[in-house]
Amino acid sequence: MIRVEFLGPIAREPMEVEVRDLAELSRILFEEETIRPWLQKCAVAVNDVMVKDPKLPLKAGDRVSILPPVCGG
Amino acid sequence: MMELYNGPLDVKEIFGRWLDEEAESNYGAYIPFVGTIRAEGGIEALSFDIYVPVLRSWFDAWQARAKERGAIVKMAHAVGDVPVHSSSYIAAVFSPRRRVALELIEDFVEDFKANAPIWKYDVIDGRRIYAEDRSTPMEGAGLLADGQKSE
Q: Which residues of B touch A43 (CB under 8 A)?
A: 137-141, 143
CA end-to-end distance (rounded Å), chain B: 44
Instruction: From residue A40, give the alpha-carbon distance in Å to each of A37, A63, A68, B34, B145.
Output: 7, 20, 9, 32, 5
The answer for B 4-33 residues in CB contact with A (under 8 A) is none
Q: Kindly state whether B61 is in contact with chain A, defined as any CB-CB distance less than 8 angstroms.
A: no
Give residue B23's identity as a one-letter amino acid code: A
Residue B99, class by beta-carbon neighbours within 10 Å (0-12 exposed, 13-18 middle, 19+ buried)? exposed
Predicted ipTM of the assembly:
0.94
User: What is the residue extent of each domain of chain B?
Assistant: 2-131
Residue spans of alpha helices (H) in chain B: 11-21, 52-68, 98-115, 143-149
pLDDT of res. A11? 85
Which CATH number among 3.40.630.10, 3.40.50.300, 3.10.20.30, 1.10.1740.10 corresponds to the domain A2-67?
Answer: 3.10.20.30
Q: Kindly state whether B125 is in contact with chain A, defined as any CB-CB distance less than 8 angstroms.
A: no
Q: Which fold has domain B2-131?
A: Aldehyde Oxidoreductase; domain 3 (3.90.1170)
- Which residue, among B56, B92, B57, has the nearest Cα to B75 in the 3D structure? B92
pLDDT above 80 for B16 = yes
Q: What is the overall mean pLDDT for chain B?
A: 95
CB contact under 8 A, B134 and A44: no
pLDDT of res. B149? 53
Residues A73 and B8: their CA atoms lie apart, in Å, by: 12
Please give the torsion angle defined by the CA atoms of residues B101, B91, B141 and A46, in that order, rounded to the nearest 10 degrees.
Answer: 110
- Which residue, among B20, B25, B105, B30, has the nearest Cα to B66 in the 3D structure? B105
pLDDT tens figures, B23-71: 999 999 999 999 999 999 999 999 999 999 999 999 999 999 999 999 9
- Which residue, among B118, B45, B121, B119, has the nearest Cα to B85 in the 3D structure? B45
User: What is the residue extent of each domain of chain A?
Assistant: 2-67
Residue of chain B nearest A23, judged by CA positions: B147
Give residue B107's identity as a one-letter amino acid code: D
The answer for A 30-69 residues in CB contact with B (under 8 A) is 30, 39-45, 48-55, 65-69
CB contact under 8 A, B145 and A39: yes
pLDDT tens figures, B64-120: 999 999 999 999 999 999 999 999 999 999 999 999 999 999 999 999 999 999 999
